[in-house]
Amino acid sequence: MKSALFTGAAVTLGLLMASIGSAQASTIDSDGSTSSHQPTARARQHGIEKAGDAYMGWVQNNTMTSTAAPAVMAPDATVEGIDVSSHQGNVDWTAQWNAGKRFAYTKATEGNYYTNPYFAQQYNGSYNVGMIRGAYHFATPNDSSGANQATYFLAHGGGWSKDGKTLPGALDIEYNPYGATCYGLSAASMVAWIRDFANTYKARTGRDVPIYTNLDWWTRCTGNSTAFNSTNPLWVAKYASSPGTLPGGWPFHTIWQYSSTPIDQDRFNGDMSRLQALANG
């Protein structure tokens, strides 16, 4: 596979929880969006009970039930990993290493109001056991600008350091668990929001943020925009035997989230040397 080159600087880890505020009854707007972070009925069915509970692939994790392992490429062509959030609590990283996992992404932040209380154990624990690790941000584009949320992410664990074991922070942009699927934004506005986040992250770290999404959401909410396919690595969600048609004209995927059993399963599209190159920039 091809790999983009990245450079940048480390950002200090912030560990304090951001105040969410008291829950208020939400008002449904004409486009179906809500004015607060009340989870929708669908989100509650998927374990999202309050603001901050959203996690990578929250819809796919419950609606796509195939547990068949995807076809395995040549052993030296892929690297196995996982992604985690507060739902996993304290992770047994030694067990994950012994299961063959060699990289991990941990949810750091959501919107500009939430930090993962298990972040330190998950992010540092994966690193300490020998994995290449990274952090991700769950975007809520209706809350604040892309620049604002990128800055919040960077201040609370989303930074990057050229230590050979830290991946660039990832942007999780997908179905809205708190209201309208596309957060009440037009396709053009959504693309502009993503660009604002990506540009801010790169200006601060020198790295192009990987984008986690899926074909359905990306098509609905960005008009299947091709604005990022030559700069930002694609992390595609598809629970099937192959990644299938890629969104946004990306010529290849960098990471594939292919299952949620027994924890979110990810596969890097390359051997360990390419994963290390992504970490090193």
Q: Which residues pair with 42 in a beta bridge?
A: none
What amino acid positions are annotated as catalytic residues? 83, 172, 174
pLDDT at 61: 42
Number of structural domains found in the chain: 1
Please say whether the beta carbons of 95 and 61 come within 8 A: no
Identify whether 12 is part of a domain: no
CA–CA gap between residue 102 and residue 108 (Å, rounded):
19
Please say whether the beta carbons of 87 and 279 come within 8 A: no
Backbone angles phi, psi at 204, to 5 degrees: -85, -30
Identify whether 29 is part of a domain: no
User: Closest Cα partner for 256 from 269, 245, 246, 247?
Assistant: 269
Helix/strand/coil for 163: coil
pLDDT at 44: 86
pLDDT at 7: 34
Which structural domain range is residue 271 located in?
Answer: 49-67+74-280
Identify whether 255 is part of a domain: yes
Identify whether 134 is part of a domain: yes
pLDDT at 169: 98
CA–CA gap between residue 28 and residue 78 (Å, rounded):
45
Supply 225's token pair. 């925009």
Per-residue pLDDT of the chain (281 residues; tens, 9 = 90+): 333 333 333 333 333 333 333 333 233 333 333 347 888 888 888 888 898 988 888 777 433 333 344 444 444 479 999 999 999 999 999 999 999 999 999 999 999 999 999 999 999 999 999 999 999 999 999 999 999 999 999 999 999 999 999 999 999 999 999 999 999 999 999 999 999 999 999 999 999 999 999 999 999 999 999 999 999 999 999 999 999 999 999 999 999 999 999 999 999 999 999 999 999 99
pLDDT at 30: 31
CA–CA gap between residue 52 and residue 109 (Å, rounded):
8
Identify whether 32 is part of a domain: no
Identify whether 25 is part of a domain: no
CATH code: domain of residue 135:
3.20.20.80
Identify whether 22 is part of a domain: no
β pairing state of 255-259 and 265-268: antiparallel
Identify whether 251 is part of a domain: yes
